């Protein structure tokens, strides 16, 4: 079935970087965009950005510009999200979610989420 | 940037009750509005796409309506398994955005 499987939980110190992965299976990897959305403990959903696996183009939320980089590896159908200069308020569950090529549509499915804890 | 505002923030409801959640957009988004359900400690799941189209496998008690700036998610005949937080999401333009969520508690 079509699914997104994310990497495991991470614990990082303030100022460090984290690189998360999201592996797609069950569909044509380059036919869908992949978004990253995060959720701080007890909070709502926050959109971070999107990558087009077909050409690698990206768009990031202004809030994360300069700190986030999204990449993809078409040979393994995997997208990556690296966040640098981590702060305690980056503690959150990070989700990847799929969208039809062309954009303007819904997000489905979602990965299971990766918990990132930033603590000294 | 488009801001989505949901109401209420939370609601305590009894089984079989009808529930209405609203989502207001800060500008006209046509029907580029989608609804998700997130149960505790789970990923969000799509319920309704393009304001009123039910997603595959979603129970018929869930329905959506609206266009432009005002949207509604309705649950007819609430069941215990519907205890969750519900989010609206706009895909009219980047950056995508979500409502703040509406938490439903079952009495």
3-state secondary structure of B48: strand
DSSP chain A: --EEEEPPPEEE-TT--EEEEEEEESS-GGGEEEEEEEE-TT---EEEEEE-TTT--EEE-GGGTTTEEEEEETTTTEEEEEE-S--GGG-EEEEEEEEETTSSS----B---EEEEE--
The percent of residues in chain A predicted with pLDDT above 70, rounded, is: 100
Q: Please, which pLDDT band fits residue A102 given cuts at 50, 70 and 90?
A: confident
Mean pLDDT rounded to a whole number for chain B: 97
Structure tokens at B61: 């008690």
For the cut 90, the answer to whether the pLDDT of residue A101 exceeds it is: no
Which residues from A are below 8 Å from B99, CB to CB?
A: 44
For the cut 90, the answer to whether the pLDDT of residue B76 exceeds it is: yes
pLDDT tens-place string over residues A1-13: 999 999 999 999 9
Contact B52, B63 (CB under 8 A): yes
Q: For testing the chain B interface, which of A1, A32, A34, A45 should be mutated: the one with the most B CBs within 10 Å? A: A45
The count of C-alpha atoms lying within 13 angstroms of the C-alpha of A120, restricted to the half-sphere facing its C-beta, is 4
Q: What is the torsion angle, in degrees rounded to the nearest 10, for the CA atoms of residue B5, residue B10, residue B14 and residue B15?
A: 60
Q: B95 preceded by cis ω (within 30°)?
A: yes
Residue A44 touches chain B, beta carbons under 8 Å: yes
pLDDT tens-place string over residues B27-63: 999 999 999 999 999 999 999 999 999 999 999 999 9
Contact A106 B34 (CB under 8 A): yes
pLDDT tens-place string over residues B89-102: 999 999 999 999 99
pLDDT tens-place string over residues A66-81: 999 999 999 999 999 9
């Amino acid at each position: 079935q079509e699914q997104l499987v994310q990497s495991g939980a991470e614990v990082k110190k303030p100022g460090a970087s984290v690189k998360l992965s999201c592996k797609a299976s069950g569909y044509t990897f380059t036919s869908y965009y992949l978004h990253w959305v995060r959720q701080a403990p007890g909070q709502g959903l926050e959109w971070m950005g999107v990558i087009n696996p077909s050409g690698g183009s990206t768009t990031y939320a202004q809030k994360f510009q300069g700190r986030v980089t999204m990449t993809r590896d078409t040979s393994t159908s995997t997208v990556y999200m690296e966040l640098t200069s981590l702060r305690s308020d980056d503690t959150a569950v990070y989700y990847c979610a799929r969208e039809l090529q062309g954009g303007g549509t819904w997000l489905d499915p979602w990965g299971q989420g990766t918990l990132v804890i930033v603590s000294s | 940037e488009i801001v989505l505002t949901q109401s209420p923030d939370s609601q305590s409801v009894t089984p079989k009750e009808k529930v209405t959640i609203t989502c207001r957009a800060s500008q006209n988004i046509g029907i580029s509005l989608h609804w998700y359900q997130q149960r505790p400690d789970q990923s969000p799941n799509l319920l309704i796409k393009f304001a009123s189209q039910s997603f595959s496998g979603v129970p018929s008690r869930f329905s959506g309506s609206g266009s432009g700036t005002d949207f509604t998610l309705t649950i007819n005949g609430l069941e215990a398994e519907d205890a969750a937080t519900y989010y609206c999401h706009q895909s009219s333009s980047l950056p995508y955005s979500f409502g703040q969520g509406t938490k439903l508690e079952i009495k």
